[in-house]
Structure 1
Amino acid sequence: MGIREAMPLLARHEGVWDGVYIYYDAAGQKIDEHKSRLLCRVDEDSPNPYHQTNFYTWDDGRTEIRDFPAEYRDGRIWWDNELIVGWAAEVALDDKNRTLMLYWQRTGDPDLYLYEMIQISDDGTYRCRTWHWIRGGRIETRTSIEERLVSRDWRGIEAEMAKSAA
């Protein structure tokens, strides 16, 4: 069974998403904000059938790119790279089929772990994500992310981005 059939909700996230990440400390004070563009690829012919690349931009001109190729097995996608180790799964109890749940740890920081919940709109054009960063059993940071779908054609956007980078 391929990833599209096994994880149809994940497949609904395929495409290019633009959004804003806002970080809050444990007391609820905003500590960071930046724009994002995410390329979420579902490619069953790849050794990494799910592959996400995040492009971040801050108002002060800083940029960052993070790449997250993932394997599929046991009903989940799995990451194990230099930045994170973890998984994502569809929440079977959500009879509306809107919710993905993720768990991951930062590589090299076993005391810090994160749970993320992703909600996608019924029409598949908006999603919101919430991260809870936990250290020693206590909340350290919360991240709130709002995104809108720009295109389902990640291949076309990826090719445009490659041309402009050359």
Structure 2
Amino acid sequence: MEVIKNSLGQSHDIIRSIVKKGDSAIDATAGNGNDTAFLAELVGEAGMVYSFDIQSEALQKTAALLDKRGLSERATLIRDGHQNMDRYVSGDVKAVMFNLGYLPGGDHSIGTRAETTIQAVENGMGLIAVGGIISVVVYYGGDSGFDEKEAFMRYIQEIDYRRFKVMKTEFVNQPNCPPILVCIERLK
């Protein structure tokens, strides 16, 4: 058993410690639906997950996974960019999850971009409750994601430390650009 989990596993542990039954949460990058299903289990029947993606294929995969697990009633799937989440969601959200990059197994030319990701994180910071968290797993390497990673890393250094606590965790001895976890906690 590995004690130190990968970035996504660390993200799930942190989110699991915060999100409770009846809460609202956002999966800003639906992808294959795994984080939407994870959040739907945490919020329970009385909660709601809002799941965003610009690709119909991603939302279809997410819907199929939710249906298979009996979680469809706990999630609202939205075909729109995550930068527009504040148009669909209001109130105190406990968690917003991002996995940057492209749809696993999908078209590498369709993926998250720095300008929309940064806008989405800013919108998420306006939606999360005190004590709520935004988790961002930054995937980069191969043929994409380097510009987004660099811009996002510059951006998080400027977040107001009086209102938000920002943590970055990365593996320093792993090959091939391992994902980086960034967590943003709302303090007040």
The answer to which structure has the higher strand fraction is: 1
Normalization by structure 2: what TM-score?
0.28
Q: TM-score, normalised by structure 1?
A: 0.30
